[in-house]
Amino acid sequence: MRSLSIPLLAALLAASPALTQTAARAQADTLAQVRARGHLVCGVSGGVAGFSMPDGQGRWHGLDVDFCRALAAAIFDDPDAVRFIPQSSAARFTALQSGEIDVLARNTTWTLSRDTAAMNFPVITFFDGQGFLVRKSLAITAVKQLDRATICLQQGTTTELNTADWFRTRGLSYQVVTFANSEQTLGAYESGRCDAYSTDKSSLYGERLKTAHPEAHVILEEAISKEPFAPGVRQGDDAWRDLVAWTHYAMIDAEEAGITQENVDRLRGETLSPDVKRILGLEGRYGQGLGLTGDWAYRIVHHVGNYGDVFARNLGDGTPLKIPRGLNALWTNGGLHYGPPIR
């Protein structure tokens, strides 16, 4: 969700002819360049719990990280054939355009201005929205109860505009206090300078865990904006865009078909439905259209898992975050994830 202003973003991307020329070369055939290099280069956040964060041994974990590992598995049959480069909110788009990274998987919201000015967004991997963290002692259950409240926000983010729009539309007032980064924003909220802390709901689950007493704070159920998170790729390489999109769709289709990381090898030896056979590469030659081997989707599930496996591992009830599937459930379970068929 974090972003530069649109005029500044456009100016940054257009400022250097050398950058434009480098980007044009990088667009030629990303898959061929990745293969020649021997590994994928993925731009991620420097540390958002559940999405991309290194552990004490320097190994990265998270939903965005697993997406990049799935892409590497599809290409190389090796989920570790990927290098993660942390990107600041200010530098992430330039890093993609310059060819420093092959794909940006950094909890980035898909918007029209970004789509047309900076990159392409092949697919939505996580449906989010802006929310509010408040103290339980305030007994607040709805955002409208924050009328005349003081709200902590991070500077230079779309949360400022979203908040202003939401409150103004409803004739409510509030006072905003902004800070340079999330650490300062959370610190101000926890010290009592603000009644609420607002950012993406998925980030608030991680921020709450950083407080001295997480159980004393609650994330309001309501969301005041749409924040569809999507990986970003450079414009001009449709084949790479397709591959990135279908990496996610394969994980969705596998979950819907009941193919998990635990049972995928067993299922390959059983009599299966045509849909499952196609997903596992046992029928048809669907990987060819992506420039991959026939077992590309099997590789993804075998090494990384289906979407449900990845969600549960990084965000679900078995993790400290305990983020509900909600909109991120399959369409068959009331969610928004719907994978086009592999056929």
pLDDT tens-place string over residues 327-337: 999 999 999 99
Q: Is the pLDDT of residue 19 over 50?
A: no
- Residues 6+ away with beta carbon under 8 Å from 11: none
Q: Is the pLDDT of residue 266 over 80?
A: yes
For the range 181-188, what are the long-range contacts, defined as Cβ-Cβ under 8 Å and sequence gap of 24 or more? 181/154, 182/154, 182/207, 185/152, 185/153, 185/154, 186/152, 186/210, 186/211, 188/152
Q: Is the pLDDT of residue 26 over 70?
A: no
Q: Is the pLDDT of residue 65 over 50?
A: yes
Q: Is the pLDDT of residue 25 over 80?
A: no
Instruction: Give the global pTM.
Output: 0.88
Q: Is the pLDDT of residue 22 over 50?
A: no
Nearest to 297 by CA among 262, 338, 261: 261
**How confident is the model over 304-324, as a mean pLDDT?**
97
Tokens 């056979």 locate to 277
**Cα pseudo-dihedral 268, 273, 278, 284, rounded to 10:** 100
Q: Is the pLDDT of residue 18 over 80?
A: no
Name the strand (E) or helix (H) holding 309.
helix 307-314
- Of the two residues 69 and 26, the one the predictor is more confident about is 69
Please report which confidence band the pLDDT of residue 181 belongs to, taking 50, 70 and 90 as the band edges.
confident
Give the per-residue pLDDT at 292. 97
Average pLDDT over all residues of the chain: 91
**Phi, psi for 234 (deg, rounded to 5):** -70, 150
Task: Give Cα separations from 125 to 88, 114, 195, 249 (angstroms).
Answer: 20, 17, 31, 9
**How confident is the model over 157-166, as a mean pLDDT?**
90
**How confident is the model over 156-180, as a mean pLDDT?**
92
CB atoms within 10 A of CB 46: 14
Of 11-25, 82-96, 219-233, 309-323, which range is least confident? Answer: 11-25
Give the per-residue pLDDT at 28. 60
- Say how far apart CA 77 and CA 295 lie, in whole Å: 9
Q: Is the pLDDT of residue 79 over 80?
A: yes
Please report which confidence band the pLDDT of residue 182 belongs to, taking 50, 70 and 90 as the band edges.
confident
Phi-psi region of 32 (alpha: psi -120 to 50; beta: other; left: phi over 0): alpha
- Of the two residues 232 and 9, the one the predictor is more confident about is 232
Please report which confidence band the pLDDT of residue 90 belongs to, taking 50, 70 and 90 as the band edges.
confident
Please report which confidence band the pLDDT of residue 88 belongs to, taking 50, 70 and 90 as the band edges.
confident
- Say how far apart CA 326 and CA 228 lie, in whole Å: 13
Structure tokens that stand for 130 in this block: 């802006």
Give the per-residue pLDDT at 20. 42
Tokens 């101000």 locate to 188
Q: How far apart are the first and last CA of the chain?
A: 34
Q: Is the pLDDT of residue 82 over 60?
A: yes
- Of the two residues 24 and 71, the one the predictor is more confident about is 71
Give the per-residue pLDDT at 11. 47
- Of the two residues 47 and 185, the one the predictor is more confident about is 185
Phi-psi region of 20 (alpha: psi -120 to 50; beta: other; left: phi over 0): alpha
- Say how far apart CA 123 and CA 64 lie, in whole Å: 13
